[in-house]
Structures are given as C-alpha cells and as structure tokens.
C-alpha cells in the first residue's frame, strides 16, 4: 500500500520560487510513475507535470513548461516539483499521484485514473 504526502506549499509573491515535495511510504517508489496535479478555486483539476519510474521521461503542461521542473530521488522515495517565476494563475492545491505503470504523457490527463493520491498542499501566488 502506497501512501503519498505533499509538503512545501505556502504563500509566495509573483515571480518567486517554491519547491514542493511528495514523500512516498509503504512501497518502493521505483515501481511508480508519478504526476503532479493542481486544482484552482472554481476550476477542474489539471495535470501539471509527470515523470517516469526512473526519471528519464517527463511531461509538462504547456502552461508551466519552462518554469517548472519535476524530478525524483527514488532512494529518498521523494518526487519534487521545482516552481520558478510563479504567476497568480498558478494558485491552486497541488497534489501528487502515482500509478504502477510505464510512463506515458497521457497519465498527466486529469481523467487518466491514478491509483494513489496525496491530500494536497496549497500554493498561493499573490502580492
């Protein structure tokens, strides 16, 4: 049984940076492709970025491409989302999710059907 816990959210000014962490427990992280998703107030959940089991392949939503970087350290059982040049429209609850499946960009679609989810961490971008 895999458990995921996000951390690192908070209030940041536009143009600032923030790094989120997704800590896994219960199983080796090596088995899972992982994604970051977000849901802004009044909007549907959207995929932000996803990463393959070994970190070799990644996907970024065009809205964050060039500003965000996803990475993972399987020995630490942690996936990271490094966010730079944050914008007010990045404000959302960010959640990580995992599935024991080989990587595909389609797993970053919000209706793909990830098996394990964290409870989320709130990122607020405002002056």
Task: Supply the mean pLDDT for the chain.
Answer: 96
Q: Each residue of 54-80: pLDDT tens digit?
A: 999 999 999 999 999 999 999 999 999
- Give me the percent of the chain exceeding a pLDDT of 70: 100
So what's the pLDDT on residue 49?
Answer: 98
Q: What's the pLDDT at 67?
A: 98
Label residue 43 exposed, middle or buried (CB < 10 Å: 0-12, 13-18, 19+): exposed
Please tell me the predicted confidence (pLDDT) of residue 37: 98
pLDDT at 103: 95
Strand-strand pairing, 10-12 and 121-125: parallel
Distance CA 8, CA 88 (A): 17
């Amino acid at each position: 049984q895999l458990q995921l816990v996000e951390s690192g959210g908070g209030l940041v000014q536009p143009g600032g940076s923030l790094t989120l962490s997704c800590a896994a427990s219960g199983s080796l992280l090596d088995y899972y492709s992982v994604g970051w998703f977000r849901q802004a107030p009044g909007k549907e959940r959207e995929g932000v970025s996803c990463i393959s089991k070994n970190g070799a392949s990644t996907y970024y939503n065009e809205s964050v491409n060039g500003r965000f970087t996803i990475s993972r350290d399987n020995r630490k059982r942690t996936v990271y989302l490094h966010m730079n040049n944050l914008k007010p429209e990045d404000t959302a609850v960010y959640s990580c999710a995992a599935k024991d499946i080989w990587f595909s960009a389609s797993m970053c679609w919000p209706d793909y059907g990830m098996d394990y989810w964290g409870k989320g961490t709130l990122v607020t971008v405002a002056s």
